[in-house]
Amino acid sequence: MPILGVIASQNRPRTFTVDYLVIAGGGGSQTGDRSGGGGAGGFRSTVTATGGGGALETALTLAPSTNYTVTIGAGGAIDTNGQNSIFDTKTSTGGGKGSTSGAGSIGGSGGGGSLYNSAGGAETTNQGFAGGGGVTDLATYGASGGGGGAGSVGQNGTGPLSGGKGGNGGSGVATSITGSSVSNGGGGAGTSDCTGGNGTAVAGGGTINTPGSVNTGGGAGGTTPGGSSGSAGGSGVVILRYPDSRTITFGAGVTGTESAASGGYKRATITAAGSGNTVSWS
C-alpha cells in the first residue's frame, strides 16, 4: 500500500457512532365481542423523539468488522402480545394485546381493556403509553378502550350515558432518522355498539377488525359488536443511521436496505431478522 494510503488507514477512526430506532411488534386483539385495541410495540430512538415521552436515548459506539445482533419482532397474533425487537444492547418490548373479557395486557404500550369496566394495560417506561379502559353503563351496552401508542395513552371507551364511543388508539411518534419525518407506533382502535361509533387509529395502528401495519409496530384494531375474529399487530422495524464512510453488511436471515449517502449519513432499514441474526460494518 502507498505510504499515504497507510497513513489514511491509520488515521481512520476505529469506532463510529450509530443512531437507532428500534420498534417492537404491536399487540394483537382478542376474538370475541368488542375487543380493546392492541398496544403499539415499544419504541426506542436516539433521533427527534422517543417513546413514552422520555428523553432521547444515547447513540451507540460500535466497531467495524464486528457482528451485532438484530431481531425484528413479529406483530402479536390474535390474542397475543407482540414480540420484542432488538439491536445490540437495546430491546424494545412487544405491545400488549387488547381484551374482550378483562384488562388489556402489559406491553411496550398497553392493550385496551374490554367493555366490562376493565382497565387498559400498563406500558413499559420510556417505550410507550398505557391502553385505555373499557366501560359498560347500560346493561350490555358499552365500549372497549383503545390500545396505547408510543406517543400517547389509548383513550377510554365511553358508554351510552357518556356519548358511547370506542376509545381511540394512542398516537405514534414522528422521527426523522430516515431523513424525513415519519410516524410509527400507533395503538389500535377500540369498539362500541353505541351511537358514538368506533375509535380511530393512526401511525400504523389498526382500525376495527384490521391488523396493525407491517413494520410500524402498530397495534391491532378491536373487534365488532357481537363478536368477530381478532386481528394481528404490525411487525416491528429497526432503522440505523451511521457515517457515510461506513457500509453495512446484512447477515444471513436479515432483510434490509442501505440508503445512498445523504447529509453525511447512510441509513439501514431492517424489516425482517430472526433471533440470533447479525449485521456488521466495514
Cβ neighbours of 58 (radius 10 Å)? 9
> Distance (Å, rounded) from C-alpha 154 to C-alpha 168?
6
**What cell numbers appear for 39 in the block?**
398496544
Q: What is the mean pLDDT of residues 47-51?
A: 98
Task: For residue 8, name the pLDDT band (cuts at 50, 70, 90).
Answer: very low
Beta strand extents in 90-229 (DSSP E only): 90-92, 135-138, 141-143, 173-175, 182-184
2: amino acid identity, one letter: P
Query: What pLDDT, in 10s, does the model give residues 124-167?
Result: 999 999 999 999 876 667 899 999 999 999 999 987 776 789 99
> Distance (Å, rounded) from C-alpha 214 to C-alpha 212?
7
Cα distances (Å, whole numbers) of residue 157 to 56, 69, 177, 197: 31, 40, 34, 10
State the pLDDT at residue 173: 98
Q: How much of the chain is helix, strand and coil, in % rounded to 5?
A: 5, 25, 70
87: amino acid identity, one letter: F
Phi/psi-derived region of residue 215, left when phi > 0, alpha when psi is between -120 and 50, beta in every other case:
left
Let me know how long the chain is. Answer: 282
State the pLDDT at residue 138: 64
Query: What whole-number percentage of the chain has pLDDT above 70?
Result: 94
Query: What pLDDT, in 10s, does the model give residues 211-263?
Result: 999 999 999 999 998 889 999 999 999 999 999 999 999 999 999 999 999 99
Tell me the whole-structure pTM to 2 decimals.
Answer: 0.93
Q: What is the mean pLDDT of residues 41-58?
A: 97
